[in-house]
A = this chain, B = another copy of it.
Amino acid sequence: MKYYLILTLKEIALLGAIENKIEISSDELANKINSSQQTASRYLLELDKKNLINREFGIKKQIIRITTEGKKILEHEYVDFERIFNLSDKIYFKGNVISGLGEGRYYTEQSSYKKQFIDKLGFKPYPGTLNVKIEYIEKNKLRLLKDNRAIIIDEFKADNRTFGSVRCFYARINDIDGAIVLPLRSHYSQILEFISPTYLREKLNLKDDDEVNITIFLKGKIED
């Protein structure tokens, strides 16, 4: 999607063309977007061709309305900005499923961990963790998980060893709710470990390397 088309669509939307048809000439639009009449005309042609706007021609000017498809593009932009400014309480990651070494199962089956998961997260995790390697570039967001609103799972001793404290956040992977599990003093790797009441690989039909979207909820319960 070309940036100048988004900009133009936005300007048209600002004039009310999502709810209503608006009457506008290419020259008027040109003023709004700081271009020539010819460029505005070309943009309108492009938007029309891409089915982002509908056009009717009166005797003068044109009657324009943004299509559902056009609205979607603007909504997508809007959501981005919401994430930037409003969402200190949600973080989005994109990543790919990878296989762990099976230790996930060993840990989640430790009865003391299990008990705490039930008490503090409110669900009994399916044995094992789903490991997701987040896109390298997204690792910048990991620092947001230093957030102190984490749910703390306390350390304990069993089997003659110590199982370390773990920090959790409610999270959603694709459509399924669960939690992210972070070892207390992991130096943030690129791997996120996800637990959930159900067997995710089956439920979400996941194979290694499949792309998944993760939403982490920094505070409180999962909402909709």
Q: Which of A2-10, A49-57, A154-162 contacts B (4 or more CB under 8 A)?
A: A2-10
Q: Is the CB of A138 within 8 A of B15?
A: yes
Known: A16-B143, A20-B143. A28 touches B80 (CB 8 A): no
Residue of chain B at shortest CB distance from A91: B16
Q: Is the CB of B3 within 8 A of A81?
A: no
Q: Is the CB of A18 within 8 A of B84?
A: yes
Known: A28-B137, A75-B85, A136-B28. A10 touches B143 (CB 8 A): no
Instruction: Give this chain's copy count.
Output: 2
Within 126-180 of A, Cβ neighbours of B (below 8 Å) are at 136-138, 140-141, 143-144
Q: Which chain B residues lie closer than 8 Å to A14 at the CB level?
A: 80, 83-84
Range for the number of chain A residues in contact with chain B: 35 or more
Q: Which chain B residues lie closer than 8 Å to A136 at the CB level?
A: 28
CA distance A43 to B81 in the complex (A): 20
Residue of chain B at shortest CB distance from A83: B14
A23 CB-CB contact with B under 8 Å: yes
A32 CB-CB contact with B under 8 Å: yes
Q: Which residues of A contact B (CB under 8 A)?
A: 3-4, 6-7, 10, 13-20, 22-24, 28-29, 31-32, 74-75, 77-78, 80-85, 88, 136-138, 140-141, 143-144
For the complex of A and B, list the 7 residue pairs with the smallest distance between their C-beta atoms, beginning with the closest. Answer: A22-B140, A78-B81, A3-B7, A28-B137, A3-B3, A13-B84, A15-B140
Beyond the given pairs A15-B141, A29-B137, 7 more chain A to chain B contacts, judged by CB atoms under 8 angstroms and listed by A's residue number, are A10-B81, A14-B84, A15-B140, A16-B140, A16-B143, A31-B137, A78-B82
